[in-house]
Structure formats: C-alpha cells, structure tokens
C-alpha cells in the first residue's frame, strides 16, 4: 500500500547550514554528426550551455527546493565562475556566504554532452589545504551560524578538515556528513555519516562487496562514534547502522538510470531534513530513496521539490510529468537547442472537464512540447474564494498527467504565471478565447522572443464554476 502524501513533512521554518566544497557544473550541449579528419574523435556541433550548482552547492539547492532556509558556506575563486556560482545560488533562494580565495580557482566541472550522452568531462580545480588567511575567514563565517541542523558535503578538495568539523560541531546542532576522506575519524561527533560502498571500503581497507559483513559494519561505527552510518548502496538502496540497533535495509524502487550525478547530495538533503523535523529513520530513508529515484532520471545535478516528492509517493502516479520551475527552465533550453517548439498554457484545472481537455489538445497541436502551469491550492483559494479548489493540487496533477496532450506540469504559487513564463520563455502561449491576445499574461515575453499567442475557442457551458453552480 502506498503512503499518503501527508508523510512528507512541512520543512518551512527550518534552517540548515551547508558546508563543503563548492562547484560549478557546466554542460556543453550539441550533436555529433561526423568523425574529425584530424583524429578519430567525434566532432561536436555546439548548440548551447547549461550551468548548475554542484558539490556542496547542489546539496544546498536540494535543501532550498524542499522549502528549507539555507545558508551555504565554502570557498570560491575570485573569478567569473565564482560569480556565476553565487548568482545561481541566490536565484535558488540560498544565502550565499562563501569565502573568496584569489589564489584558488572555483572548481569547475565541464561535461560535453551529445544528444544527452556524456562524451567527456574536464575538471578545473585545485585540490589541497586552504591558505591560512582563507581558512581563518572560513572559520569566521561558520562561527555563530543560526540553524536547526548542519550538512557537511566533503568532496575532498580541501575545505573540510578537523578545524572545520570542530567549528561545525561547536554549533551544537545535529550534523550529517557526506564524507570523502578515507579517515572517517575526521567526522567523529556527527550524528550521521553517509558513505557510499566505495568510500566505506576505502575506510575499512576491504573490497566493496565485503563492507556489509557484521564485523565491518561494527568497525564503521567505531570509526564514527558516537554517530550512526547511512550507507548508500546504489540500486541496493540504503543501509542504516546505529549503535545498539540491528542494521536496517531500505530498498529503492527500480528506475531507468540516466545520470547519477548528485544523487548522493539529494539523499543527504532529504534524509537530514526529515530527521530534523522529527521523522523516523524509516520515513527519512523512504523519502530519500524516492527523491534519488527522481534525480537519476535527469541530466546532471538536479533537485526535487517537496511537492514532487509527495507526488512521487502517490500510487496513481503523475510524478514523472511534475517539474519544479528551475528544472522546467533547463528542459525548455534543451528543447530549444534541439529545435523543438515549447508551448505553455495555465490554469487552475479544478474539476477537469471537456472544456479543459479541448483546450489542452488544441495547445499541444501548436508545438512539440506542452507545459501546463498549475495554480497551487493557495493560489486557487485567493482567486476563487472559500471552498476552492474542490480537488487538491496533487489530485489535479495526477489527472493532468494522465492526459496524452500534457508533457509537463509546473505548479506556481503566485496569482498569475507571469514570473514562470519569464523563466521558461515559451515559443507559444495558449489561452481560451475569452481573452484577447493583449490580455494574456506573459504575452509581451513571448512576443519579445519572436513567439506568438494562440487563442482557443471555448466550448459552450463548459466551466468548473458552471458545473458547481448546477449541483
């Protein structure tokens, strides 16, 4: 039996401090149509670039998507990549408190991707201890931070050391560490240490297949005492090992894997957030597995919103078409690079009826990919009054997702989709013919990029308000 959506806690009002190695993930997109005459390598016909938060910044982005207040502390270079990372973090609602190091470049991971297949990764980074003045500035940034819990995301670049761990533990808050050092004693004092099988094997000096032997699990607990271990096992799910408890396995749901980049960041964010709000280990593991199952089906580092997570747990589905606004914007860019035309329409879609279906089919005919902007429950109440919506947003998402015409659904909290349209930059905007083109919200955005507005004739007598009036 599938759990109800109410198992997903409300993370609002909670604050997390994320500390660790910050990275900028850059994707160079294109198509490979031939082999170079200069060497036996493919020639990429470049079509565009995507930049995402990586490393500890991706962990922070996952926390922000859940609705947590996030403060991010780390180190970036005094360079354009550091500026871009700060810009992306602030756009995600993250309080960016990174220290600038003019002698150290911002870690940049550049991936060359042809038709969603990664061909090459180029790393620009400097690995090693921080210079003393930078280290001191980092410790000052950590001192006295107000938060409910801390996530330490160690990618082994040099930010996380004993001094940083001491400063983090001195805050007196629960700490979850995503480790990289083979010396797990570095993280002693943390509530949870979350290695993967390879990391645990390095710490134990054994093969990954041997990590789950009872004597090795006991040794892991000795290394991180007095904390617990959350072992990530890929397709094998999660293994929880805590002092005085029998080990618990939390299997994952089989998924088509596209890109595992950042899945560990998502697990860390969701698991820690659920535990910080009083959720059980079982609840935290289940939600973390569900969230990871979403991100591995996407290109590059990705995040999962609280609403996406709730929808992913619904037995009637619909979650695969549900996208957060930031992810939808990335997808729109990818579609445009591939020469596809993006269509957008929006509404409350409360009590879906024949008029809605008519509108959505007509909208889908205007291009290659239809995104539906959906008013949240709070937005519908403000627009329609008490008693509306009749059906909640998760039910409305599920019904819309069941329609062949709909390719993606993006909820929005505002009264109008103006900000969402500005973010997505669709090629075609579709509304019912009870509007004029000039009255359609977002029309100026679409016209500015050479797009158009399409008005669909209404079906007589088909409206949610009319249906409710006849009851």
Average pLDDT in the 215-219 region?
97
Q: Do residues 300 and 337 share a domain?
A: no
Name the domain boundary from 315, 337, 368: 315
Under DSSP, the state recorded for 253 is P
pLDDT surpassing 90 at residue 289: no
Average pLDDT in the 247-264 region?
67
Name the domain boundary from 315, 341, 376: 315
Q: Do residues 339 and 433 share a domain?
A: yes
Count CA atoms closer than 13 A to 57's CA, side-chain side: 30
In a domain, 306, yes or no: yes
| Residue numbers of the domain that contains 154 | 5-315
In a domain, 79, yes or no: yes
Closest by CA to 12, choosing from 90, 68, 76, 87, is 68
Q: Do residues 284 and 338 share a domain?
A: no
- Report how many domains make up the chain: 2
Terminal-residue alpha carbon distance, the chain: 34
Q: Which long-range contacts (CB under 8 A, 24 or more apart) does 238-241 make?
A: 238/267, 238/285, 238/288, 238/289, 239/212, 240/281, 240/285, 241/217
Q: Do residues 66 and 203 share a domain?
A: yes
Place of tokens 């996208």: 323
Average pLDDT in the 155-166 region?
96
Predicted confidence (pLDDT) per residue in 67-84, tens digit: 899 999 999 999 999 999
Q: Do residues 280 and 147 share a domain?
A: yes
Place of tokens 């910050």: 22
Q: Do residues 259 and 114 share a domain?
A: yes
The pLDDT score that the predictor gives to residue 74 is 98
Q: Do residues 304 and 407 share a domain?
A: no
In a domain, 446, yes or no: yes
Q: Do residues 62 and 83 share a domain?
A: yes
Q: Do residues 311 and 329 share a domain?
A: no
In a domain, 320, yes or no: no
CATH number of domain containing 405:
3.40.50.620
Q: pTM for the whole thing?
A: 0.76
Name the domain boundary from 280, 315, 350: 315
In a domain, 104, yes or no: yes
Average pLDDT in the 446-460 region?
90
Q: Do residues 163 and 266 share a domain?
A: yes
In a domain, 201, yes or no: yes
Average pLDDT in the 120-129 region?
96
Q: Extract the tokens encoding 169.
A: 């533990």
Q: Do residues 202 and 341 share a domain?
A: no
Q: Do residues 188 and 229 share a domain?
A: yes
In a domain, 444, yes or no: yes
Closest by CA to 97, choosing from 158, 147, 153, 140, is 140
In a domain, 385, yes or no: yes
CATH number of domain containing 95:
3.40.1190.20
Residue pair 259/296 in contact (Cβ under 8 Å)? The answer is yes
Active site residue 265: yes
From 178, 259, 265, 407, the catalytic residue: 265
The pLDDT score that the predictor gives to residue 398 is 84
């Amino acid at each position: 039996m599938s759990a109800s959506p109410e198992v997903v806690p409300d993370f609002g009002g909670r604050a997390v401090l994320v500390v660790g190695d910050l990275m900028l993930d850059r994707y160079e997109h294109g198509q490979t149509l031939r082999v170079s005459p200069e060497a036996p390598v493919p020639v990429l016909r470049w079509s565009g670039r995507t930049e995402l938060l990586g490393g500890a910044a991706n962990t922070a982005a996952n926390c922000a998507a859940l609705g947590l207040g996030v403060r991010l502390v780390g180190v970036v270079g005094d360079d354009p990549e550091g500026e871009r990372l700060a810009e992306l973090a602030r756009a995600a609602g993250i309080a960016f408190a990174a220290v600038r190091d003019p002698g150290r470049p911002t870690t940049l991971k550049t991936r060359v991707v042809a038709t969603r297949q990664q061909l090459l990764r180029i790393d620009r980074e400097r690995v090693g201890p921080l210079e003393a003045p930078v280290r001191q500035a980092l410790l000052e940034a950590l001192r006295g931070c107000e938060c409910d819990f801390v996530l330490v995301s160690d990618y082994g670049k040099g930010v996380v050391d004993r001094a940083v761990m001491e400063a983090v533990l001195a805050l007196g808050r629960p700490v979850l560490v995503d480790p990289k050092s083979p010396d797990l004693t570095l993280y002693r004092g943390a509530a949870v240490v979350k290695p993967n099988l390879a990391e645990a094997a390095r710490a134990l000096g054994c093969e990954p297949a041997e990590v789950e032997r009872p004597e090795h699990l006991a040794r892991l607990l000795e290394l991180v005492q007095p904390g617990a271990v959350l072992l990530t096992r890929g397709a094998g799910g999660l293994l929880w090992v805590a002092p005085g408890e029998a080990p618990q396995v939390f299997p994952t749901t089989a998924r088509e894997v596209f890109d595992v980049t950042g899945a560990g960041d998502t697990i860390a964010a969701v698991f820690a957030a659920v535990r910080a709000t009083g959720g059980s280990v079982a609840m935290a593991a289940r939600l973390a597995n569900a969230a990871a199952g979403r991100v591995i089906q996407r290109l590059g580092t990705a995040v999962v919103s609280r609403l996406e997570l709730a929808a992913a747990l619904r037995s009637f589905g619909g979650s695969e078409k549900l996208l957060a606004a930031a992810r939808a914007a990335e997808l729109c860019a990818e579609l445009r690079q591939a020469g596809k035309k993006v269509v957008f329409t929006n509404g409350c879609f409360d009590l879906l009826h024949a008029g809605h279906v008519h509108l959505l089919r007509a909208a889908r005919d205007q291009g290659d990919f239809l995104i539906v902007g959906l008013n949240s429950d709070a937005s519908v109440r403000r627009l329609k009054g008490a008693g509306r919506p009749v059906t909640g947003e998760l039910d409305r998402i599920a019904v819309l997702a069941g329609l062949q015409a709909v390719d993606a659904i993006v909820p929005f909290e505002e009264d109008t989709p103006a900000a969402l349209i500005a973010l997505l930059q669709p090629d075609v905007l579709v509304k019912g013919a009870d509007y004029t083109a000039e009255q359609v919200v977002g029309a100026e955005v679409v016209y500015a990029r050479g797009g158009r507005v399409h008005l669909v004739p209404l079906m007589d007598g088909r409206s949610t308000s009319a249906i409710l009036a006849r009851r």
